[in-house]
């Protein structure tokens, strides 16, 4: 059965081995999706909830609002994503001079795991009409990375500094939009 504290302890030990060790831990974790839901509870609100944070490792429980889209961004550290409910569509981008261009996509469903290298630029969409839940593990401090992160405007694809407060507000706005459309 999934245990949050044991998962964190395993990740703390595994991060020194790199993203492959974390990927194995994540695959084991999301194989027990019911256990994760029992541990975290059914999602009530969209948002990103830090579960563990240190200079070497951050573990976050992401809950994506229905039909929510997050702008292209980078992490400047590896990340491992495990979906335990719903679906997450990722579009991958690369720099093309002053903007970026899409280079591929991957859809993740319940039980799927994806590993993103430190230089990956991606955007995320929850394409379904219910919350999508995922555990994200980062090989560093997600909230204070040593190398500044970037995000790209949805419309112009122009780069700007990443702003975690803007991202948090996007989660709140997406939840409010969905609530207004169903209420």
Predicted pLDDT at 171 = 86
Q: Predicted confidence band at 178 (pLDDT cuts at 50, 70, 90)?
A: confident
pLDDT for the residue numbered 29: 98
| Nearest residue to 54 (alpha-carbon basis) of 4, 23, 82, 16 | 16
Question: Residue 179 pLDDT > 80, yes or no?
Answer: no
Residue 177 has a pLDDT of 85
Q: What pLDDT is recorded for position 19?
A: 94
Chain segment 29-46, per-residue pLDDT in tens: 999 999 999 999 999 899
Task: Determine the Cα–Cα distance for residues 148 and 97; give it in Å rounded to an integer.
Answer: 19
- Average pLDDT over every residue of 83-109: 97
Q: Residue 65's pLDDT is what?
A: 95
pLDDT of 180 strictly over 90: no
Q: Is the pLDDT of residue 181 over 80?
A: no
Res 183: pLDDT: 59
Mean per-residue pLDDT over the chain, rounded: 95
- Report the pLDDT averaged over residues 85-90: 97
pLDDT tens digit sequence for 107-160: 999 999 999 999 999 999 999 999 999 999 999 999 999 999 999 999 999 999
CA distances from 171 to 9, 22, 38, 104, 134 (A): 28, 26, 23, 24, 14
pLDDT tier at 49, thresholds 50, 70, 90: very high
Cα distance between residue 54 and residue 81, in whole Å = 18
| Domains with residue ranges and CATH for the chain | 4-182 (2.60.120.10)
More confident residue, 167 or 83: 83
pLDDT at 182 over 80: no
């Amino acid at each position: 059965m999934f245990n949050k504290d044991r998962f964190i302890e395993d990740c703390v030990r595994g991060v020194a081995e790199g993203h492959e060790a974390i990927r194995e831990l994540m695959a084991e974790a999301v194989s027990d999706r019911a256990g994760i839901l029992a541990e975290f509870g059914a999602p009530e609100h969209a948002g990103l909830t830090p579960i563990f944070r240190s200079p070497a490792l951050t573990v976050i429980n992401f809950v994506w609002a229905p039909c929510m889209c997050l702008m292209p961004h980078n992490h400047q550290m590896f990340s491992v994503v495990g979906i335990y409910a719903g679906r997450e569509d990722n579009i991958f981008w690369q720099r093309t001079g002053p903007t970026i261009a899409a280079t591929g996509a991957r859809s993740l469903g319940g039980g799927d795991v994806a590993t993103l290298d430190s230089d990956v630029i991606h955007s995320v969409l929850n394409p379904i009409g219910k919350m999508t839940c995922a555990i994200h593990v980062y090989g560093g401090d997600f909230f204070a990375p040593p190398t500044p992160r970037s995000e790209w405007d949805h419309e112009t694809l122009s780069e700007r500094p990443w702003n975690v407060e803007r991202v948090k507000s996007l989660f709140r706005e997406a939840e409010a939009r969905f609530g207004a459309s169903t209420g």
